[in-house]
Chain A
């Protein structure tokens, strides 16, 4: 019932059907500009890398996987997309997020716009990500590749499950500065991965609709003796402050040797981010 209504919703939002039908037949030469890192991950995985992407220089810091192919134009920041450059690139399709709805009229002057609601819908993002992946595959004539990506992700997560079990309960967070931290919880991409791997989140406070909550260093006590992963990038002053901090040193998980630094994973990512997190967690057990 819910699956049906979601499908109906996606179909209903396809107001530009005629254009897309013609797009599909010419998929091999399709020029897509992507205004979201998460969707770009999926595009690269299904073999239709975008011709333009926002903030390309930061990709290697935040998304990391999959590696960004060469020759993708930098569209500027998501706050203010370079419209002239967008016009000059002559894209066939622009992929956007609900947070850029307010410039949709302008974007539509250049090319058809498709926006994918994934986060903050009151559900966990995983089914939305899968739906978006399949929808992208269908739109771009890459349904086979999209289905393969979904299946590959399921298999990888399933395979990681066994080995990750020994972590038991764990929390994932990032340091904002030496005194403030951000935890990832229900409603976010990372929680989905934990659920898939049969792991329990040691951070039990409610998260906001995007799946994270801000806290102070003292709140780390709630993690107890469970594993704690703090994600890159870690501010320089945090790294120097931790060893000398009596509060940090007296945390049960630090005393048990269960605090680990972890490479960056895109928190608003799609399937490639989820497998990346699973892989990094498994790596931590060895």
Chain B
């Protein structure tokens, strides 16, 4: 027993030894010959080595430790309170909110940045927290609702940031560095400002420790007279504050808030007190290791990489391996089984949706804007010359919407997990990674190159998914894999963007879901796949229904679970790959459309599949038209506009139907 209790601290010690060792290797050449006094005290202006060590290297080392500590603590608090190992500053949208606020301040209120950069970022972080809190409070901080709200809000913020960047790519170069998390320091001022805030938050967390322990009891705590909601809210507040302060100081340090608690758990820390300490220490050591390695790399090659993006590139696969090995005893599936009343007349609802789709499509074909930017409904030869620009992208957008919605619908049924969608599963990210690799191999990629690369990426993810599938039956494994892969992709892209590589131009617009490179051939291929996809999904609807009742029930009904699961995964991965090549990996239609269909009264069977597909189509068709005309002559990427349009509708429906179910 005693050896068990010591084991976590041995591992944390090893981690710290590694951190200090790497720091020594990196800093030794700069520090040799300098006395300890000259490092700590203000150096004389003529001693450039001492100045460098005192104002840059040393504060950077300490900053890495402090930020890693804060993020580790923050992540552990999130995960404990929400009882969800996927919770982290990133999955709750706090980082994205802070980033959006910084982008907005850069563009419209540069004076704020001149005065105090931290204020705008902290405002953004707390604003997102406010939204998540407002919704969370209403639902007694139900883990599902909080995570879902956080994710959608975060996606929303990221979408707006991407849009701002696309419109102002010259100005926001700094945002990428910041988004990538740069730990460069010029003096001790920033650290002096950050450290007391982090210390304060840590103190508050320590005060809450006893109550946090009680939370482990779950609902029984309520019976003991503990005000569960207040404890949860306070702990979440501390966690968000820790993130907001860190992020406003150094930017997004991707994945650290997710990785550090995972390490704490993996090394065997059991009670919440030891987990909080282990996660903080692991976070600090981890960030020091990565940041010192980044510096070593930079010295060797002359290329400066943003540390925060590198943490994600390294952290994602490591975390994945950890989770695969441990089989996740703490995994709690994010169940979305709110009580939803099916509509009495699914046919008329579907007919209404179809009518809506036709109307939107007609408007998208006939209405546009002229050279003078005035609204116009073109006819005759002018219309004929414009059709090649309107029809293919509309067809492609609608097809992609259908394909993603089907894929999302299949995955949500299969896993019984409300967050399962092609975007979360990581197939979109896999397609994107394939494309990314291709960009560095082929100098001037054609559409054919992209098609092959995208498909290979998706196929690779598929292969790994199947490998995972054979080992374990837990639906959450897929989600975790997808989340890791998504983070990896985001990190790689921010590394490339931060390096200012002009190839990122293309990457960025595709990521945002631009349909303007779509040829009519590709559009019609996608359309054929969409029709076939609908047919296949309807065929699979009945056996899939058994899965919503659980594996055992499905087995009892004679479904060969393993094979069926593989079939569904393969199909949804294929559908996703085709759609992703058209609208990029960030549209999140696959997450939203099945939910919309469900919330409006089409919860199951063929009607659900048709409804989801129709919602996906309507969403994308509207996005196509809006993106083309609203900010003329600027063209907004369809996938991004779909996220922006669908987000509020999604949120309203979530809140309304959930409050209905709580009234019961």
Contact = CB atoms under 8 A, between A and B. Distances in A.
Contacts of B446: 101-102
A4 interface: no
Contact of A210 (B177, B386, B502): B502
Interface stretch (A16-24, A82-90, A143-151, A153-161): A82-90
A89 B386 CA distance: 12
B371 A109 contact: no
Interface centre among B52, B368, B445, B502 (most CB of A within 10 A): B502
A132 B203 CA distance: 65
A87 B302 contact: no
A181 to B, nearest CB: 9
B500 A217 contact: no
Interface residues of A, number: 62
Contacts of B506: 79, 99, 102
Interface in A58-93: 58, 61-62, 73-85, 87-89
Given A217-B186, A237-B117, A245-B186, A76 B633 contact: yes
A261 interface: no
Interface in A73-126: 73-85, 87-89, 98-99, 101-103, 105-106, 109, 119-120
Interface string B441-467: 001111100100000000000000000
A150 B102 CA distance: 43
A27 interface: no
Q: How large is the interface on B (under 10, 10 to 19, 20 to 34, 35 or more residues)?
A: 35 or more
Contacts of B137: none
A252 B51 CA distance: 12
B635 A76 contact: yes
B304 A215 contact: yes
A240 B116 CA distance: 10
B52 A221 contact: yes
A239 to B, nearest CB: 7
Contact of A80 (B187, B369, B500, B635): B635
Interface in B615-638: 628, 632-637
B58 to A, nearest CB: 11
A221 B302 contact: no
A80 B162 CA distance: 13
Nearest to B166: A79
Interface in B162-188: 166-167, 169-171, 173-174, 177-178, 182, 184-187
A202 to B, nearest CB: 15
B517 A182 contact: no
Contacts of A250: 45, 48, 51, 55
Interface stretch (A42-50, A134-142, A171-179, A192-200): A171-179
Nearest to B443: A98
B56 A247 contact: yes
B339 interface: no
A236 B303 contact: no
A237 B302 contact: no
Interface of A: 58, 61-62, 73-85, 87-89, 98-99, 101-103, 105-106, 109, 119-120, 176-180, 182, 205-206, 208, 210, 212-218, 221, 233, 235-237, 239-241, 244-248, 250, 252, 255
**A-B pairs, 10 with minimum CB distance:** A218-B56, A236-B114, A79-B509, A216-B184, A177-B174, A179-B184, A236-B110, A80-B635, A237-B113, A101-B444
Interface of B: 42, 45, 48, 51-52, 55-57, 106, 110-111, 113-115, 117, 166-167, 169-171, 173-174, 177-178, 182, 184-187, 189, 302-304, 368-371, 382, 385-386, 388-390, 443-447, 450, 498-503, 505-506, 508-509, 512, 514, 516-517, 519, 628, 632-637
